[in-house]
Structure 1
Amino acid sequence: MGTVTGTITTAGKHPPMNDIVSPAALYRLMTFLSPAFPVGAFSYSHGLEKVIEQGGVKDAAELEDWLSGILRYGAGRNDAILLKETLLAGQEGDASLVIELRELGLALQPSRERHLETSAQGTAFMQTVAKSWPPDAGTTAGKLFRDLVAADHDPWPYPVAFGLVCAAHAIPVKAAATSFLQAFVANIVSAAIRAVPIGQNDGQRTIAGLEPVVFEVSETALRSGLDDLGSSAFFADIASMAHEIQYSRLFRS
C-alpha cells in the first residue's frame, strides 16, 4: 500500500543506496549547483538578514546553530524530501505526480518572500536547463522534462525543479540531495559573510561544521516520504515574514 498526503499518492518506495556518480553526472551536478548557474541564489538570505538585524546571529557559532535548525527542522529537510520524491517520480515518468509535487512545494512556503525564493530560483533553473542543458528526450525522465517545460509556464519550486532535472540527467538521488543541501548552506553562509559580517575563514568553518548535519538530513530524507513533511523552524518562518517590511535590505528574502 502507498501513503496518501492530500491528493498525492506515493508508492512507499525507498531509493537505491548504490549512489555511484558517473563523470558526466558529476560534471552536470557541479554545474547546476555552481554560483555561476543563473538562478539568482546570491540575492536570497532565507530570512537571515532579519535575524541578523535583530541580533539573533552575531557570529559564526550562532550562524551554525541557526542553519543546523533549518536543515533538521525546516526547509532543508522538506526540500530534500521533495527533491527525492520528484526525482523518483521523474524516473518513472509520472507527470501527474510531478505536477502535484510542484504545487505542494509552492503551497508549503510560509511567507510571500519564501514563496518568491523557491519559485524564482526553481523557474529560472528550469528555463536555463531547457535552453542550455536539454536532456535526452529518448529517456523516460528526459521526455517528461521536455513535455512539462513545453506544456505550461507555471512557477517551479526549486527542489522539485532540481529533482526533475537530476532524474532527466541520470544524477543519483543521494548525490543530488546531499549536494543540494550543501549548496543551500553555502549560499546562506555567503549571505552571512556579507551581512553579519563574518570572515571568509569563519564562513568555511561553518560549512565544515555543518557537513555531518547535511549528511544526516540527506540520509533522513531518503528514508522519508510525503507524510513526513513538516516544519518546526518557527523563528526562521517568522523572520521571513518580518523581512518583508524591513526598512533597509540587501536581500530579497
Structure 2
Amino acid sequence: MAETLDGLRLMAWLSPGYPVGAYAYSHGLEWAVEAGDVRDEASLAEWLADVCERGALRNDLILAAHAQRAAQADEPDVIVELNELALALAPSRELHLETSQQGRSFLDATLGAWPCERLAALAARLPGTVAYAVAVGASAGAHRMALAPMLAAYGLAFLQNLVSAALRAAPVGQAAGTRLIAALAPRIVLLAEAACTADLDAVGAATFRLDLGSFRHETQYSRIFRS
C-alpha cells in the first residue's frame, strides 16, 4: 500500500500537469533547432543523449540524491549548501530561471497539497530561489520516499519534457518522440543507478554548445520558450 501510494505521488509530482511551468522551457533546444543542430529524429536523439549523459540531467540526479538523503537525515544546512551549488551550476540566466522557477513552484505546490512537517521546516530555510532537483529530492526525502524510483522518475520526466518541447519546436512528430523516449529510457535507468552512489565531486557537465546557445537564445528573434 505505502509503495503504491509513493508511486502515485511520484507520478503526480513529475507529471506534465504539476504546476511548475515545465512546458515553458526547452533547455536550449529551441536555439539548437534554430541553429540547425537538431533537424530530424537522429540529430534530436544525439542532442537528448548528450543533455542526459553529459549535461544537466546527470548533475540533477546527483544533486537530487544528496538532497533526498539530507532531508531524510534532517540536515537543513546540507540542503542549503546543495541548493547554492545547484543554482551556481546554471551556466546562463535562462537556465538559472528554468531551474529556480520550477524549483520554487514545485516546493510551494508540494507543501500546499502534501503537507509535511519536515518539508515545511526545510522550506523555511529556502525562502528564495530553489533549484528544481533540490526541491524534488528534498521533498522525496522529507516524505521518506525511496531514492532509486525517485531518481528514475525525475530522469524520465526530464526527458519527456524535452521531447514535448521538440514536438513543438523541431521537425519531428509524436511517433518519433515516442521512439526516442523508449530508446533513451534504459540510459535514464543507468544514470539514476549511478547517481545513487555518486559523490558531489562527480558533478560536472560538458555541453558547451548548449550553454553558449542558451545565451544566444536570450536574443533569438523568434521563440516560444523561455530557455
Aligned to 1:55: 36
Please state how far the C-alpha of 1:218 moved relative to its aligned partner.
Answer: 1.1
CA contact (8 A) 1:181 1:214 kept: yes
Aligned to 2:89: 108
> What residue is the counterpart of 1:210 in the other structure?
184
CA distance in 1 between counterparts of 2:120 and 2:88 reads 24
Secondary structure of the 1:22 match is helix
Instruction: Please say if residues 46 and 240 of structure 1, whose CA atoms lie closer than 8 Å, have aligned partners that are also in contact.
Output: yes
Displacement of 1:130 in angstroms is 1.1
- Ranges in structure 1 where 5+ consecutive residues have no aligned partner: 1-19, 138-142
In structure 2, what is the Cα distance between the partners aligned to 1:183 and 1:252? 18
Partners of 1:104 and 1:211 lie apart in 2 by: 27
Q: Which residue identity lines up with residue 157 of structure 1 in the other structure?
A: A
Scaled by the length of structure 2, what TM-score is found?
A: 0.97
What corresponds to 2:157 in structure 1? 183
Worse overlay, 201-210 or 231-240? 231-240
Which residue among 150, 171, 192 is the counterpart of 2:124? 150
1:219 Cα shift? Answer: 1.5
Provide the residue aligned with 1:238 in structure 2.
212
C-alpha separation in 2, matches of 1:149 and 1:231: 28
Q: 1:127 and 2:108 equivalent?
A: yes
Residue 10 of structure 2 corresponds to 29
Deviations 1:181-210 (A, max 9, x none): 100000000000011131111110010110
Letter in 2 for 1:24: L
Letter paired with 2:76: A
Secondary structure of 1:120's counterpart equals: helix
Mapped to 1, the partners of 2:2 and 2:42 lie a distance apart of 33
2:66 aligned residue (52, 62, 85) = 85
- 1:87/1:164 contact within 8 Å kept: yes
| Distance in 1 of aligned mates of 2:190 and 2:56 | 14
- In 1, the alpha carbon distance for the partners of 2:192 and 2:212 equals 25
The alpha-carbon deviation at position 152 of structure 1 amounts to 5.1
What percent identity do the matched residue pairs reach?
Answer: 43
**Structure 1: distance between partners of 2:150 and 2:45:** 22
CA shift for structure 1 position 223: 2.3
For 1:246, give the aligned amino acid. Answer: Q
Question: For residue 24 of structure 2, what is the aligned residue in structure 1?
Answer: 43
TM-score, normalization: structure 1?
0.87
Question: Structure 1 CA distance, aligned partners of 2:66 and 2:107?
Answer: 17
Query: What's the C-alpha RMSD, in Å, of the aligned pairs?
Result: 1.3
Report how many aligned residue pairs link the two structures. 227
Query: Following TM superposition, by how much is the alpha carbon of 1:89 offset from its aligned partner in structure 2, in angstroms?
Result: 0.5
Structure 2: distance between partners of 1:171 and 1:60: 36
Q: CA deviation at 1:127?
A: 0.5
1:117 aligns with 2:98: yes
In the TM superposition, residue 241 of structure 1 has moved relative to its aligned partner by 1.3
How far did residue 221 of structure 1 move?
A: 1.2
1:221 partnered with 2:200: no
CA distance in 2, matches of 1:168, 1:24: 15
Counterpart position of 1:65: 46
Structure 1 residue 45 displacement after superposition: 0.2
Residues in 2 aligned to 1:54 and 1:248: alpha-carbon distance in whole angstroms? 12
Instruction: Say if 1:73 and 1:154 are closer, same or farther in 2 by CA, change over 3 A.
Output: same
CA distance in 1, matches of 2:198, 2:97: 26
Could you tell me how far 1:151 is from its partner in structure 2? 4.6
Whether 2:130 is the aligned partner of 1:166: answer no
Cα deviation digits, residues 213-245 of structure 1 (max 9, x gap): 111211221121101111111111111111111
Query: Which shows bigger deviation, 107-116 or 206-215?
Result: 206-215
